[in-house]
Amino acid sequence: MVVGLVGWFRWGWRGPPSDRIDRRPLVLVDAGHGGVDGGTQGFGVLEKRVALATARAAADALRRRGVRAVLTRETDVALTLEERVAMANDRGAAAFVSVHFNFSTASAAVRGVEVYYSDPKDLSAEVAVASLLGAPVGDAAVAAASIALADAIRTAIVRHADTPDRGTRNRPDLAVTRRTRCPAVLVECGYLSNPEDAARAATPAWRQQLAAGLAEGVAAWLAGGSR
pLDDT at 44 over 70: yes
Rounded-to-integer distance, Cα 37 and Cα 147, Å: 28
Per-residue CA distances from 38 to 7, 35, 72, 74, 215 (Å): 38, 7, 16, 15, 25
177: phi then psi, degrees, rounded to nearest 5: -95, -25
Q: In the prediction, which pLDDT does 49 show? A: 98
pLDDT at 6 over 80: no
pTM of the model: 0.91
Q: In the prediction, which pLDDT does 132 show? A: 87
Q: In the prediction, which pLDDT does 113 show? A: 98
Q: In the prediction, which pLDDT does 7 show? A: 42
Q: How is the beta sheet containing 165-170 ordered, strand by strand?
A: 68-71, 26-31, 95-102, 184-191, 113-117, 165-170
Average pLDDT value over all residues in the chain? 92
Q: What percent of the chain has pLDDT over 70?
A: 90
pLDDT at 157 over 60: yes
Domain range summary for the chain, segments of one domain joined by +: 5-223
pLDDT digits (tens, 9 = 90+) for 89-147: 999 999 999 999 999 999 999 999 999 999 999 999 999 999 989 999 999 999 999 99
pLDDT digits (tens, 9 = 90+) for 122-136: 999 999 999 989 999
Nearest to 216 by CA among 65, 1, 32, 114: 65
CATH architecture of 5-223: 3-Layer(aba) Sandwich (3.40)
pLDDT digits (tens, 9 = 90+) for 168-216: 999 999 999 999 999 999 999 999 999 999 999 999 999 999 999 999 9
pLDDT at 48 over 50: yes
Amino acid sitting at position 157: I
13-17, 162-166, 200-204: segment of lowest average pLDDT: 13-17
Q: Average pLDDT in the 20-44 region?
A: 94
pLDDT at 31 over 70: yes
